[in-house]
Amino acid sequence: MSIEHWWPKLKRSTQKWLIENNGDAVSSDVVAEITQVGGVITSDAWWVGESGPSGLYLSDEAVDWIEAVANGEVPERP
Protein backbone atom coordinates (compact mmCIF):
# COMPACT_ATOMS: atom_id res chain seq x y z
CA MET A 1 0.00 0.00 0.00
CA SER A 2 1.33 3.40 -0.94
CA ILE A 3 1.76 6.43 1.32
CA GLU A 4 -1.35 8.20 0.06
CA HIS A 5 -3.41 5.21 1.22
CA TRP A 6 -1.90 4.64 4.66
CA TRP A 7 -1.20 8.27 5.60
CA PRO A 8 -4.84 9.15 6.44
CA LYS A 9 -5.07 6.03 8.63
CA LEU A 10 -2.21 7.15 10.89
CA LYS A 11 -2.90 8.81 14.22
CA ARG A 12 -2.78 12.59 13.95
CA SER A 13 0.13 12.58 16.41
CA THR A 14 2.07 10.24 14.13
CA GLN A 15 1.39 12.40 11.09
CA LYS A 16 2.60 15.41 13.10
CA TRP A 17 5.76 13.57 14.13
CA LEU A 18 6.50 12.62 10.51
CA ILE A 19 5.98 16.23 9.41
CA GLU A 20 8.14 17.67 12.19
CA ASN A 21 10.88 15.07 11.69
CA ASN A 22 10.65 14.84 7.92
CA GLY A 23 13.84 13.35 6.53
CA ASP A 24 14.95 11.85 9.85
CA ALA A 25 15.10 8.16 10.66
CA VAL A 26 11.62 6.84 11.36
CA SER A 27 11.23 5.46 14.87
CA SER A 28 10.33 1.81 15.33
CA ASP A 29 7.00 2.86 16.88
CA VAL A 30 6.08 4.84 13.76
CA VAL A 31 7.21 2.01 11.48
CA ALA A 32 5.00 -0.36 13.49
CA GLU A 33 2.01 1.95 13.10
CA ILE A 34 2.60 2.33 9.36
CA THR A 35 2.62 -1.43 8.92
CA GLN A 36 -0.38 -1.80 11.21
CA VAL A 37 -2.47 0.48 8.97
CA GLY A 38 -1.39 -1.30 5.80
CA GLY A 39 1.92 0.19 4.74
CA VAL A 40 4.03 -2.68 3.46
CA ILE A 41 7.71 -1.90 3.78
CA THR A 42 9.47 -3.43 0.81
CA SER A 43 12.50 -2.31 -1.15
CA ASP A 44 10.35 -1.68 -4.22
CA ALA A 45 7.86 0.61 -2.44
CA TRP A 46 8.50 4.13 -3.79
CA TRP A 47 8.17 5.70 -0.35
CA VAL A 48 10.77 3.47 1.32
CA GLY A 49 14.31 4.79 1.40
CA GLU A 50 17.37 3.37 3.08
CA SER A 51 17.44 1.28 6.20
CA GLY A 52 20.41 1.24 8.50
CA PRO A 53 21.57 1.11 12.10
CA SER A 54 19.65 4.28 12.99
CA GLY A 55 16.41 3.01 11.44
CA LEU A 56 14.31 3.33 8.33
CA TYR A 57 14.45 6.43 6.19
CA LEU A 58 11.74 7.47 3.80
CA SER A 59 12.68 8.09 0.18
CA ASP A 60 13.35 11.62 -1.08
CA GLU A 61 10.03 11.42 -2.94
CA ALA A 62 8.20 10.52 0.29
CA VAL A 63 9.92 13.39 2.12
CA ASP A 64 8.70 15.74 -0.65
CA TRP A 65 5.20 14.21 -0.42
CA ILE A 66 5.03 14.82 3.34
CA GLU A 67 6.36 18.35 2.88
CA ALA A 68 3.56 19.05 0.40
CA VAL A 69 0.99 17.74 2.89
CA ALA A 70 2.53 19.92 5.62
CA ASN A 71 2.21 22.95 3.33
CA GLY A 72 -1.47 22.25 2.68
CA GLU A 73 -0.81 21.22 -0.89
CA VAL A 74 -2.17 18.19 -2.70
CA PRO A 75 0.90 16.01 -3.11
CA GLU A 76 1.59 14.11 -6.28
CA ARG A 77 2.76 10.53 -6.25
CA PRO A 78 6.05 10.09 -8.11
Confidence (pLDDT) at 25: 95
Segment 58-69 mean pLDDT:
95
Q: Where are the alpha helices (DSSP H) in the chain?
A: 3-6, 12-20, 28-36, 60-70
Q: Is the pLDDT of residue 76 over 80?
A: no
**56, β-bridge pairs:** 26, 51
pLDDT band at 33 (very low <50, low <70, confident <90, very high): very high
Q: Considering only CA atoms, which of 62, 71, 73 is closest in space to residue 5? A: 62
- pLDDT greater at residue 32 or residue 43: 32
pTM comes to: 0.88
